[in-house]
């Protein structure tokens, strides 16, 4: 059975003005993938994520999400695409003046016509889903960094999205919290069938959660490798990819 492509990038160039980070990139993300965008500093990982989420127009090329070219899509179509996707930023990006439940209710207030009571119940459900049952009325300042990431993920899941984007989810977390977040990402992928796109350079996360990936190279400004990270480690296509994927093993 042929896998369903949910994201397709063709001839994609990413950058800012005359400054090109990546040129002529082609790749596909299948529905249900945990797709890793990896590479060293300055290769354009986060900029690629900004393109995929419609926050940065590409210099050239197209990005189809669920059959819609977001580069040329109307404002109405883009709104529909955004309603079917969620994003977890590095810091969690919670509003400090709002409780966790109020943070999660924000997208529901903006994009749904649920009653206040139903929105409150859904917020509690999403918090429970990420292991924060009973923390509805806590403020971000009252919880740990790992819990903030989980609360941010609960908000990203508020509208039951088809795709969730993660920007360096392990940044600022201790190894245990990072591992727990990886396990949560896998559980959401398995139980809900959500397609996950993760920008990261953390090897432990790459090998734990990723089943598909692209490797961006800052020097050549191209994609140097595609595929399952574990397979890329077994059969590295070039020295750069091998060195990146074996960093922790070298003395």
pLDDT at 248: 54
CATH number of the CATH domain containing 212: 3.40.50.300
Dmax of the chain from CA atoms? 58
Over residues 53-96, the pLDDT tens digits come to 999 999 999 999 999 999 999 999 998 898 899 998 876 688 99
Q: Does residue 37 sit within a domain?
A: yes
Assess if residue 126 is contained within a domain.
Answer: no
Cα of first residue to Cα of last residue in the chain, in angstroms, is: 44
Task: Identify the residue with better confidence: 227 or 174.
Answer: 227
- DSSP symbol at 237: S
Using one digit for the tens of pLDDT, what is the confidence trace for 189-225?
Answer: 999 999 999 999 889 999 999 999 999 999 999 999 9
SS3 178: helix
pLDDT tens per residue across span 129-169: 999 999 999 999 999 888 998 899 999 999 999 999 999 88
Dihedral sign, Cα of residue 97, residue 122, residue 88, residue 149: positive
Contact 13, 60 (CB under 8 A): yes
How many domains does the structure of the chain reveal? 1
C-alpha span between 194 and 160 (Å, rounded): 9
**Residue span of the structural domain in which 19 resides:** 1-84+194-251
180 belongs to a structural domain = no
Is residue 122 one of the residues assigned to a domain? no
In a domain, residue 5? The reply is yes
CA separation for the pair 120, 123 (Å, rounded): 5
Give the per-residue pLDDT at 251. 41
């Amino acid at each position: 059975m042929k896998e369903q492509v949910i994201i397709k990038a063709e001839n994609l160039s990413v950058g800012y003005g005359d400054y090109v980070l990546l040129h002529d990139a082609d790749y596909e993300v299948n529905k249900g993938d945990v797709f890793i965008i990896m590479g060293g500093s300055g290769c354009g990982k986060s900029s690629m994520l900004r393109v995929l989420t419609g926050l940065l127009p590409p210099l050239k090329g197209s990005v189809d999400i669920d059959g819609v070219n977001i580069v040329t899509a109307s404002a109405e179509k883009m709104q529909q695409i955004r309603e079917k996707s969620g994003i977890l930023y590095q810091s969690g990006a919670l509003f400090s003046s709002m409780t966790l439940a109020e943070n999660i209710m924000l997208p529901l207030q903006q994009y749904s016509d649920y009653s206040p009571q139903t929105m409150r119940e859904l917020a509690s459900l999403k918090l429970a889903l990420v292991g924060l049952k009973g923390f509805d009325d806590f403020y971000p300042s009252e919880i740990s960094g790992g819990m903030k990431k989980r609360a941010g993920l609960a908000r990203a899941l508020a509208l039951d999205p088809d795709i969730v984007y993660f920007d360096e989810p392990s940044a600022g977390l201790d190894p245990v919290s990072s591992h727990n977040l990886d396990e949560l990402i896998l559980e959401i992928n398995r139980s809900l069938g959500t397609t996950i796109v993760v920008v990261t350079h953390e090897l432990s996360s790459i090998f734990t959660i990723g089943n598909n990936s692209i490797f961006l190279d800052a020097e050549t400004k191209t994609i140097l490798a595609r595929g399952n990270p574990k397979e890329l480690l077994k059969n590295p296509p070039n020295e750069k990819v091998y060195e990146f994927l074996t960093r922790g093993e070298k003395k």
